[in-house]
Amino acid sequence: MPVYNYTTIDDPFAFGGSATSAIGINAAGQIVGYYGDASGTHGFLLSGGMYTPLDDPSAANQTMASGINDVGQIVGSFQHSSGTTHSFLYNPNGGTYTSVDAVAPDTEALGINDAGQIVGGTLARSTASSSSTVFTPP
């Protein structure tokens, strides 16, 4: 039978050590996700055993990292102080955050492939039909 080996991932900054989710992994084994602490939700990058917090500078303490490709580019979403949800593309070279709100407000970017194609959805679930999209940021 195949052997299933589970290793727990708890961001050391997480509130009480019990508010971590791992969402994406790339070929190098780099893992992204988010954790919660007293101030809100933050993305993280786990690489080589080190946890690095990811907070979009525009975020109101509500950042989540969802996808990472083999180049190391990371996509995620954050909540603006206005209450709307926006998405970001994080480039590890320079540590820059780029907005990828290509569709509408309340956009949530969830996945990215090596070509830089990003998938996600809008979150207007309670009002009308929402849509998903694949787009390549400029």
Cβ nearer to other proteins, comparing 10 with 101: 10
Q: Is the Cα torsion angle 9, 100, 132, 127 positive or negative in sign?
A: positive
43 contacts 57 by C-beta, under 8 angstroms:
no
For other proteins, the binding residue among 88, 125, 137, 138 (CB under 8 A) is: 125
In the complex, least distance from residue 138 CB atom to other proteins, rounded to whole angstroms: 18
Number of residues forming the site for other proteins (CB under 8 A): 50
Q: Does 93 bind other proteins (CB under 8 A)?
A: no
Closest CA relative to residue 68, chosen from 120, 11, 29, 107: 29
**117 forms part of the interface with other proteins (CB under 8 A):** yes
As a whole number of angstroms, the distance between CA 90 and CA 49 comes to 20
Part of the chain binding other proteins (CB under 8 A), chosen from 18-26, 55-63, 81-89, 90-98: 18-26
Please list every residue from 68 through 87 that binds other proteins, using CB under 8 A: none
Interface positions with other proteins (CB under 8 A): 1-11, 16-27, 29, 31, 33, 36, 66-67, 108, 110-115, 117-121, 125-126, 128-134
